[in-house]
């Protein structure tokens, strides 16, 4: 489906080469100061044509708020955001009428619907993520103002080039978007970034592509987010991240590396936080325990495959099963991770916003009840 979330619900629309793309957001609290400028920042970070590492498609991705706001404030009614497609060239994809592109969605869309968009990837195109990024910017505005939430994603892998684990742990505590955007590859590690840049340039020159990894940290997320048992916070985050085009893997906290540790190493022991509560001495859990946020930083990694559309001739088959050679045209990223950074941030914001509104509703309804007698309270927060 094209709708994500429940309390904060986002429906995206549009294809790669239609007239416009965008979204409708339902559940935005009334009274939030909001203008196009608040949303444009993230759309500009996502837009194509911003460096020689990305697709040369030249889209300004200028957003317009069509509804749900007056005089710079949200009304609490559905917000419609639109972005026009201006530099679209549908004729660049005529060969895909005969050949499904290897590892793209052409064949599966045809199997599912019996019809597909005649140009580009349709709904499987990264152009669809514009609506996600726009909605995520609205969610981030609320989360930052009300809870001080910070969400920062950054590139930690391109092909076989990886940020060292020791450097990654330091970055999780200190990295900012300004530091991330200081390089066109969006890797804040001074040693790895130049090699990543050269690897993407090399792939582009070879008319090839490569994959990569985006790491994301969420700071100041309130404790108590996430719903047992099937909507655990890490499950919601995994759902959100794996819905992004080209994703192939997700891990949170220690992830797969945690399988090599003993429980005595992996357990995050508690200590007093000096504010009347608790914090953990380590954070192998990635800020989530029992599917619920514990107030520590939430961090995770998302793996992206090499973009499927490359400009090399590929021996494949037509829809009719006849062998042939596909010579793909069009304009495509040799590596998606530099532009995936704001998309990962947006999907993280949508998950946190949705779970915050759910938890706020639970807390508000609980506070309307008579207090629980002291002798029945199991834990202090009651």
Does residue 288 lie within any of the structural domains? Answer: yes
* 276 compared with 375, residue with greater pLDDT: 276
Taking only Cα atoms into account, the Rg of the chain, rounded to an integer number of angstroms, comes to: 22
% of the chain exceeding 70 in pLDDT: 94
Q: What is the pLDDT of residues 3-15, one digit of tens each?
A: 999 999 999 999 8
- Domain assignment present for 380: no
Question: Out of 106, 189, 333, 354, which one is annotated catalytic?
Answer: 333
pLDDT at 381 over 60: no
Contact status, residue 186 vs residue 171, Cβ threshold 8 Å? no
Q: Annotated catalytic, 104?
A: yes
User: What CATH number is given to the structural domain containing 48?
Assistant: 3.60.150.10
Examine residue 108 and state whether it is found in any structural domain, yes or no.
Answer: yes
Of 76-90, 93-107, 274-288, highest mean pLDDT: 274-288
Residue 382 within a domain: no
Q: Please answer whether residues 256 and 264 qualify as being in contact, where contact means their C-beta atoms are separated by less than 8 angstroms.
A: no
Provide the pLDDT for residue 148: 98
- Domain membership of residue 377 (yes or no) is no
Residue 51 falls inside a structural domain: yes
For the stretch 160-179, pLDDT in tens is: 999 999 999 999 999 999 99
Q: Cβ contacts of residue 299 below 8 Å, gap of 6+?
A: 172, 215, 216, 217, 218, 252, 253, 283, 286, 287
Q: Report pLDDT for 382.
A: 39
CA dist 294 and 221 (Å) reads 9
Asked whether residue 381 is domain-assigned, the answer is no
In the predicted model, is pLDDT for residue 379 greater than 60?
Answer: no
| Amino acid 378: pLDDT | 61
User: Tell me, what's the pLDDT at 332?
Assistant: 80
Which of 54-68, 106-120, 174-188 has the highest average model confidence (pLDDT)? Answer: 174-188
This prediction has a pTM of 0.94
Task: Given the residues 92, 104, 147, 167, select the one marked as catalytic.
Answer: 104
% residues pLDDT > 90 (the chain): 81
Domain membership of residue 375 (yes or no) is no
If you average pLDDT over residues 313-324, what whole number do you get?
A: 95
Domain count, the chain: 1
Q: Which domain, by its residues, includes 89?
A: 3-366
Q: Is the pLDDT of residue 103 over 80?
A: yes
Selected catalytic residue, list 17, 88, 197, 332: 17
Note the pLDDT of residue 338: 97
Residue 51, pLDDT score: 72
Q: Which tens digits make up the pLDDT trace of 292-317?
A: 999 999 999 999 999 998 989 999 99
Range 350-355 average pLDDT: 98
Instruction: Assess whether 17 carries a catalytic annotation.
Output: yes
């Amino acid at each position: 489906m094209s709708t994500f979330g429940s309390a904060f619900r986002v429906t995206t629309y549009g294809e790669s080469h239609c007239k416009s793309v965008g979204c409708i957001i339902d559940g935005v609290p009334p009274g939030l100061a909001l203008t196009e400028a608040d949303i444009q920042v993230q759309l500009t970070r996502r837009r194509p044509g911003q460096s020689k590492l990305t697709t040369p498609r030249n889209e300004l991705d200028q957003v317009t708020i069509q509804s749900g706001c007056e005089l710079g404030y949200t009304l609490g009614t559905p917000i419609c955001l639109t972005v026009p497609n201006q530099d679209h060239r549908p004729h660049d994809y005529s060969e895909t009428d005969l050949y499904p592109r290897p590892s793209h969605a052409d064949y599966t869309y045809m199997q599912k619907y019996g019809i597909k968009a005649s140009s580009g990837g349709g709904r499987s195109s990264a152009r669809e993520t514009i609506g996600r990024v726009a909605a995520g910017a609205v969610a981030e505005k609320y989360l930052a103002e009300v809870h001080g939430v910070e969400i920062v994603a950054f590139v930690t892998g391109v092909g076989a080039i990886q940020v060292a684990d020791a450097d990654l742990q330091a970055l999780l505590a200190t990295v900012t978007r300004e530091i991330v955007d200081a390089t066109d590859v969006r890797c804040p590690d001074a040693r790895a970034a130049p090699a990543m840049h050269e690897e993407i340039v090399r792939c582009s020159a070879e008319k090839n592509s490569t994959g990569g990894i985006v790491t994301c940290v969420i700071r100041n997320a309130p404790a108590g987010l996430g719903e047992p048992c099937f909507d655990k916070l890490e499950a919601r985050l995994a759902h959100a991240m794996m819905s992004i085009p080209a994703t192939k893997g997700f891990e949170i906290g220690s992830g797969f590396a945690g399988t090599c540790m003993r429980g005595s190493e992996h357990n995050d022991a508690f200590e007093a936080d000096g504010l009347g509560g608790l914090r953990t001495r380590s954070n192998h859990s990635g800020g989530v325990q029992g599917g619920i946020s514990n107030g520590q930083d939430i961090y995770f990694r998302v793996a992206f495959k090499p973009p499927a559309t490359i400009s090399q001739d590929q021996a494949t088959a037509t829809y009719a099963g006849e062998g042939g050679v596909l010579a793909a045209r069009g304009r495509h990223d040799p590596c998606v991770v530099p532009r995936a950074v704001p998309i990962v941030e947006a999907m993280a914001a949508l998950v946190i916003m949705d779970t915050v509104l759910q938890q706020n509703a639970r807390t508000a309804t609980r506070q309307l009840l008579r207090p629980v007698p002291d002798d029945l309270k199991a834990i202090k927060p009651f």
